[in-house]
Amino acid sequence: MKKLTFLAFGLVLLAGSVIAQTKPTKNDPEAKKILDAVSTRFKSFTSVQATFTYKVENAAGKVLSTKTGTILMKGTRYKLSFGGQEIFCNGTTVWNLDKAANEVTINTLDASSGMITPQKLFSNFYDKDFLYVLNGEKKVGAKLVQEIQLTPLDKSKNFHTVFVLVDKNAKTMYSTKVLENAGNRYSYTVGTLKTNIPAADALFVFDKAKFPGVTVEDLR
């Protein structure tokens, strides 16, 4: 089954083209203030539901594919619907459903593995793994956004730069663009964002009864 990774979900993206700037050599305290404020606000919500658009471009900026998806988060739980896949996580177990193949793969969520979960991407993913700098502010439509450039400390990663746009007034993530070493660019932009909505725990658990004939591959 095709796996969906979360950097990969590298969060969420940038509208328009981005010109790579000088890479940060140390962390920018102004960027940290912004990222900390986003993390604090996200953690204050009991639940978050968002729509997003995922775009893949080549090194020349040509769009190779565009897809949309939805995500619901509550504490350590999440449910992601994207490109014919649904991913359920109840905080300990992850079910990855490929609808076209009618197959679900089950894995244990290993918190010690360094796996990037959606919650980390909306909150404190930057703390230990990146250098970051504030590039400035600009308008995207009616929004005033702040652009932060992140560079991974681990040079073996298959990407070299992440650009994050933060909605300055709402103090929430707006978009992220991940620049791969091979040249491709993966970007995600948040559309609608709803917070503190009712979300039963059962929503984050795969229910086999709702998918007749589904093949189960349990890798736990």
CA-to-CA distance for 55 and 50, rounded, in angstroms?
A: 16
| CA gap 195, 72 in Å, rounded | 10
Dihedral, CA of residue 202, residue 206, residue 207 and residue 211, to nearest 10: 140
Phi, psi of 218 (to 5 degrees): -95, 110
Cβ neighbour number for residue 137 with a 10 Å cutoff: 12
Three-state DSSP state, 75: coil
Question: For residue range 42-78, what is the model confidence (pLDDT) as tens digits?
Answer: 889 999 999 999 899 998 889 999 999 999 999 989 9
Is residue 120 very low, low, confident or very high in pLDDT (cuts 50, 70, 90)?
low
Q: Which residues pair with 134 in a beta bridge?
A: 148
pLDDT the model gives residue 24: 58
Neighbours of 172 (CB within 10 A): 19
Do 97 and 209 touch, CB atoms closer than 8 A?
A: no
Output the average pLDDT for the chain: 83
List, in sequence order, every beta strand (DSSP E) within the chain. 48-57, 63-74, 77-82, 85-89, 93-98, 103-108, 130-140, 143-152, 159-167, 172-180, 185-195, 215-218
Q: Are 179 and 57 in contact (CB under 8 A)?
A: no
More confident residue, 111 or 139: 139
Q: Does 3.40.50.300 match the CATH number of domain 29-206?
A: no
Distances (CA, A) of 118 to 9, 19, 134, 210: 7, 26, 22, 25
Q: Which two tokens stand for residue 187?
A: 């970007």
Each residue's pLDDT tens digit, 130-142: 899 999 999 998 9
N residues, the chain: 220
